[in-house]
Amino acid sequence: MPEGSPDAGPSCGLAPEEETVAGGAREDVDRELPRSAGKKIKKLESELEGLKKQLEAAEAAAEAANDKYLRMLAEYDNFRKRSIKEKECCYNDAYCDAVSLFLPVLDNLERARGYTDAGSVTKGIELIIKDIKATFEKLGIAEIETEGKKFDPNLHNAVLHIEDEKYGEGEIVEVLQKGYIMGDRVIRYAMVKVAN
């Protein structure tokens, strides 16, 4: 085609219709690209939100599991301590009960020592008493001190009361039955006569 003719197109050599079609296709691609990219972005944002929710749920579950674990650990520790304490209490109760069975024997031997005149019998009783007291000492059992002491309701049981000015207020005058302790625990209170 000649250059001056009306059908002559731009210098690229394309016909005007072809150029319009090509330009329109570019615009469609430009419009579709943002639309498809927007869809992908929305899809990715939706997936991200879903993952965030899953992460929050997983963190909440982990925190709940950790709290449950810590509570169970504390409960176990309390159970262990309680079991140890109960075991010690049961042991000490049984121990004291067993020892209390020996106390009447010791009482009788001490009484017999006071009423016997025969030297050999007295010597035998003395040895038995000594052995029993040594056994008590090994077991951690001690006689409650009363001589020259003031009456203490935590250790003594006052069964008689006398008025005598030669003794001080609440002073123990006589021991009627010895008392025994193991550590801080009273096995048997000392039965005493108290003055004033």
pLDDT > 70 in the chain, percent:
81
pLDDT over 50 (residue 169)? yes
pLDDT over 60 (residue 171)? yes
Average pLDDT of the residues of the chain: 83
- With respect to residue 185, please indicate whether it lies within any of the assigned structural domains: yes
Q: Quick: pLDDT tens for 22-54.
A: 555 555 545 555 677 878 888 999 999 999 999
- Could you tell me which residues come within 8 angstroms of residue 179 by beta carbon, excluding any fewer than 6 positions away? 143, 144, 146, 155, 156, 157, 186, 187, 188, 189, 190, 191
| Domain encompassing residue 192 | 141-196
More confident residue, 130 or 185: 185
At residue 30, the pLDDT reads: 53
- With respect to residue 132, please indicate whether it lies within any of the assigned structural domains: no
Which of 51, 32, 54, 53 lies closest to 43 in space, CA to CA? 51
- With respect to residue 98, please indicate whether it lies within any of the assigned structural domains: no
pLDDT over 80 (residue 14)? no
Domain count, the chain: 1
- With respect to residue 190, please indicate whether it lies within any of the assigned structural domains: yes
Rg (alpha carbons) of the chain, rounded to whole number? 51
At residue 9, the pLDDT reads: 46
At residue 127, the pLDDT reads: 82
Inter-residue contact 157 to 192 (CB < 8 Å): yes
Q: How many angstroms separate the Cα of 52 from the Cα of each of 15, 59, 170?
A: 55, 10, 80
Q: How large is the average pLDDT for residues 118-125?
A: 77
Q: Quick: pLDDT tens for 58-73.
A: 999 999 999 999 999 9
Inter-residue contact 136 to 142 (CB < 8 Å): yes
pLDDT over 50 (residue 10)? no
At residue 54, the pLDDT reads: 95
Inter-residue contact 146 to 192 (CB < 8 Å): yes
- With respect to residue 77, please indicate whether it lies within any of the assigned structural domains: no
Distance CA(158)–CA(59), nearest Å, equals 68
SS3 string of 35-101?
HHHHHHHHHHHHHHHHHHHHHHHHHHHHHHHHHHHHHHHHHHHHHHHHHHHHHHHHHHHHHHHHHHH
More confident residue, 187 or 14: 187
Q: What DSSP character marks residue 2?
A: -
Q: Are strands 180-182 and 185-188 parallel, antiparallel or unpaired?
A: antiparallel
For residue 173, give the CATH number of its domain.
Answer: 2.30.22.10
Q: How large is the average pLDDT for residues 112-141?
A: 80
- With respect to residue 56, please indicate whether it lies within any of the assigned structural domains: no
